[in-house]
A and B are shown apart, each in its own frame.
Chain A
Amino acid sequence: MATDDGFKRTYPEIDDWTDSRELLANARKQAEERQLDDVFIVDIDSHISDGGNWPEIMDYVEDPVIREAASAFGDGSKRGAFLNGTNGLQWQNVWGRIPHGQGLKEAVEESELSRETILARRCMDQMGLDYQVMFPNAMLFLGMHPVPEMEVHLATAYNRWLVERVLPEDQRIKAMMYLPFNNPVEAEATVKRFLGKPGVAGFLITSSRHKPVHANEYMRLYGMLEESGQVLGFHTHLNWQNEYTSQLNRFISMHAISFVLCNLVHLTNWIINGLPERFPKLKVMWIESGVAWLPFIMQRLDHEYMMRTSEAPLLKKLPSEYMRDMFYTTQPLERTNETLLAASMEAMSAETQMLFASDWPHWDFDLPATIWDLPFLDEKAKRNILGYNAARIFDLEIPEKYRALAAE
């Protein structure tokens, strides 16, 4: 079987260097079997290329001293310069069992295009995606960087690299700009600088950090985002150094809890401190915590709020009602118990509030078929989750071929 660009499968044992067109050949097969090429699909969260682009990104650091210092890392290659990644990330591939879990190492053709764009196109074509929002692994740790100002240097370089180098290469690729949230003034400056740039789909806080989101110093930032109609995303991540998670001796345990814990904390602070009342039009999205945590915290907060309303005086309705006004990405969709999953998605008004995310190429990625094959959703709900909710929230242009269907 050959793809449109002439790639021919050879069915090898899949390893770290396997071409993602080979690795995702079954995704293309799924798309064709289900006619998903006739379905508008937006992938809200992907992490195409990690370390490979870092030396190039370092050239976008604006501080001349830090830019020069990057050359001192990676035997002069700048690879990994200044990053504070934890070893947890290196365990994602289940000790070699899921090769792409360690990042895509495949070869790409000589091209004017960035490696990022080439790999994104391979994924989009195989999965049948119309848009893909990308975000790098390396940045997910930055909120915990021991050198606070480094978050600003690296985030600005990364945002610039995306806006100036990658996003102009393919209109299907979008990005949410990294907010250096540990420095509220710089976070505001990031919004001012990148708002409205082509391909910028919103702004993003990495959730692995110890900063209370309700602190007064962030109110101006939220106001700016609300006024400009931008999406504010919270992208979760692991934290194996936390006092509780450090007791977990297996990656499976830490990942299952850690990827939810940080968003549980931030979402709870967000609601109980009345931020949805203060910024009622701000579009808030919770990314990569899956779905199973949502009914838990809905019930828990509602239960306690009814007894302790005096501690949350800004609220005018139940916490769960505010939760249903916010947005959630679906991945990793916990679907071993279909009854629980159906109840969770119904509780969250999934038809209007949930958005498909692949998280490709991480070890627990989902495919469009993951949503399309859910037996308890009707076709309209599936189409909304796969694409139309994203189009509405991010104001994405829907390609002509889908418009007739969207108007129905």
Chain B
Amino acid sequence: MSELFVAKVDDLADRERRIVVEGALEIGVFRLGDEFFAWESNCPHAGGPVCQGRIMNRVNEVLDDEKRAHGYEFVEADVHIICPWHGYEFNIRTGVHPGDAETRLRGFPVTIRDGAVYVTV
């Protein structure tokens, strides 16, 4: 196991990510508020560079009490990373695809020490 320096905590803004590379391994490290998450940038669908994709909130469809549809809304609590190859979305906090719990990213532990972010591989 080895620990890779990612960034100084203050250099990584909310909803920002850094890609760290160790040999053939590429890892995306994301900041959401004061939390940090690290996922392999290798989409389980087709191997796309998932962590280089857009960060967007999960989309929900709004239904009223009679189950009539009233369009879309973003869900602020659920932040997704979206693979730029084919659009597979993953919850940045859990690494799980919103439509299939079996489809998930490979995660790595993140450590905060002395004002810096490290990922263990």
Chain B residues with Cβ under 8 A from A12's Cβ?
52
* Chain A interface helix/strand/loop/mixed: loop
In the complex, whether A109 has a CB less than 8 A from a CB of chain B is: no
Nearest chain B residue, comparing its CB with the CB of A23: B84
Answer whether A370 and B85 are a contact pair too, CB < 8 Å, given A11-B19, A97-B54, A97-B56. Answer: no
Q: Is the CB of A98 within 8 A of B52?
A: no
Distance in Å: Cβ of A217 to nearest Cβ of chain B: 41
Distance in Å: Cβ of B39 to nearest Cβ of chain A: 14
**Complex Cα gap A94–B19 (Å):** 24
Distance in Å: Cβ of B24 to nearest Cβ of chain A: 7
Chain B positions 61 through 99: 1 when the CB is less than 8 Å from some CB of chain A, otherwise 0? 000000000000000000000101111010000000000
Q: Is the CB of B52 within 8 A of A13?
A: yes
In the complex, whether A300 has a CB less than 8 A from a CB of chain B is: no
In the complex, whether A99 has a CB less than 8 A from a CB of chain B is: yes
Q: Is the CB of B86 within 8 A of A364?
A: yes
Q: Is the CB of A29 within 8 A of B24?
A: yes
**Complex Cα gap A16–B93 (Å):** 26
Pick the residue among A11, A29, A98, A367 that contacts B84 (CB under 8 A): A98
Chain A residues with Cβ under 8 A from B47's Cβ?
26-27, 29-30, 367, 369
Chain A residues with Cβ under 8 A from B86's Cβ?
98, 363-365
* Chain B interface helix/strand/loop/mixed: loop
In the complex, whether B21 has a CB less than 8 A from a CB of chain A is: yes
- Using C-beta atoms within 8 Å of the partner chain, give the interface range for chain B: 20 to 34
**Complex Cα gap A26–B84 (Å):** 12
In the complex, whether A25 has a CB less than 8 A from a CB of chain B is: yes
Chain A residues with Cβ under 8 A from B21's Cβ?
11
Distance in Å: Cβ of A322 to nearest Cβ of chain B: 33
**Complex Cα gap A30–B47 (Å):** 8
Pick the residue among B24, B48, B53 that contacts A13 (CB under 8 A): B53
In the complex, whether A100 has a CB less than 8 A from a CB of chain B is: yes
Q: Is the CB of A99 within 8 A of B42?
A: no
In the complex, whether B107 has a CB less than 8 A from a CB of chain A is: no
Chain B residues with Cβ under 8 A from A367's Cβ?
46-47
- Which B1-46 residues sit within 8 Å CB-CB of chain A? 17, 19, 21, 24, 26, 42, 46
**Complex Cα gap A12–B19 (Å):** 8
- Which A28-44 residues sit within 8 Å CB-CB of chain B? 29-30
Q: Is the CB of B46 within 8 A of A369?
A: yes
In the complex, whether A14 has a CB less than 8 A from a CB of chain B is: yes
Chain B residues with Cβ under 8 A from A76's Cβ?
none
- Using C-beta atoms within 8 Å of the partner chain, give the interface range for chain A: 20 to 34
Q: Is the CB of B87 within 8 A of A97?
A: yes
Answer whether A96 and B46 are a contact pair too, CB < 8 Å, given A11-B21, A363-B87, A364-B86. Answer: no
**Complex Cα gap A23–B49 (Å):** 8
Nearest chain B residue, comparing its CB with the CB of A32: B24
Answer whether A96 and B54 are a contact pair too, CB < 8 Å, given A14-B49, A26-B49. Answer: yes
Distance in Å: Cβ of A14 to nearest Cβ of chain B: 4
Chain A residues with Cβ under 8 A from B56's Cβ?
97
Pick the residue among B26, B46, B84, B87 that contacts A14 (CB under 8 A): B84
Q: Is the CB of A11 within 8 A of B54?
A: no
Q: Is the CB of B82 within 8 A of A97?
A: yes
Q: Is the CB of A98 within 8 A of B46?
A: no
Chain A residues with Cβ under 8 A from B24's Cβ?
29
**Complex Cα gap A97–B80 (Å):** 11
Chain A residues with Cβ under 8 A from B26's Cβ?
11
Knowing that A25-B49, A97-B84, A97-B87 are A-B contacts, what are 20 other residue pairs whose CB atoms are under 8 Å apart, sorted by A's residue number?
A11-B19, A11-B26, A12-B52, A13-B17, A14-B52, A26-B42, A97-B54, A97-B56, A97-B82, A97-B89, A98-B85, A98-B86, A98-B87, A99-B54, A363-B86, A364-B86, A365-B85, A369-B46, A369-B47, A370-B46
Closest 9 CB pairs of A and B: A11-B19, A14-B84, A97-B82, A94-B87, A14-B52, A98-B87, A97-B87, A26-B47, A26-B49
Q: B residues within 8 Å of A by Cβ?
A: 17, 19, 21, 24, 26, 42, 46-49, 52-54, 56, 82, 84-87, 89
23 CB contacts below 8 A, A to B, read: A11-B19, A11-B26, A11-B52, A13-B17, A13-B53, A14-B49, A23-B84, A25-B49, A26-B47, A26-B49, A26-B85, A27-B47, A96-B54, A97-B82, A97-B87, A97-B89, A98-B82, A98-B85, A98-B87, A365-B86, A366-B46, A369-B46, A370-B46
